[in-house]
Amino acid sequence: MITATTLHRAFIAILPDDKTRAFLRDSIRVFNKEARNFRFVNVDQLHITLEFLGDSVSSESITAITQELSSHKGNFPKPSIGLTELRLGFPGQTMPNVLFWNLSGGQKLKDLTRYIHEEIVDLQLTDVKRHKDHAKLIHHITIGRAKRSISRAHARSVKEIIKGHSFGELPVFTPEVFSIIASELTPKGPVYKTLEEITL
């Protein structure tokens, strides 16, 4: 349970199922030789962000969001989510620093994200981020981040590792819940804690 007056850096996310998580673990192991250059995400912290709530969200606001979203159980779009492509860097990045899997989820994943966002905005909570540019949202699962700026030559070598590896059959899963997660920033990277789970 969350305690009153606690402030959270919080976001809403879907967590992958066990099969997808195991696949992601194996895809991280492909880059064992890059451990000195990348900080890889702990397997139990892999997620798909749907909504960043803010840096200082009160426990009271978390409770209000949970109650509101829980009242829509059974009405949320329920996407089928699959991994599609492993990439280094987002489109338009001149200095790529994020290693991530692109996702398929179709319109239902976009609709779920928008549904959650609009319900939260309607609560008019002053400590929750209200603006979201859905046109720029890229659903993905980050598996690693560069510890420092990487050269173009290094970026090419990482992309060659991706291109040269056969990852096999890519998993697909349909989530049953999504989660409100608190993120504590530490020198070794963020540490996540699930505050609430909400049924789709």
| Enzyme catalytic residues | 47, 140
| Look-up of token digits 């994200």 | 113
Separation CA 84–CA 94 (nearest Å): 22
Residues 6+ apart with CB under 8 A from 179: 12, 13, 14, 15, 47, 194, 195, 196, 197, 198
Count the helix, strand and coil residues of the chain and give each as a percent rounded to the nearest 5: 30, 35, 35
Q: Which of 182, 138, 143, 185 has the alpha carbon at shortest distance from 162? A: 143
Q: DSSP character for 185? A: E
What is the bridge-based pairing of β-strands 48-58 and 140-146?
Answer: unpaired
Residue 155, classified by CB atoms within 10 Å of its CB into exposed (0-12), middle (13-18) or buried (19+), is middle
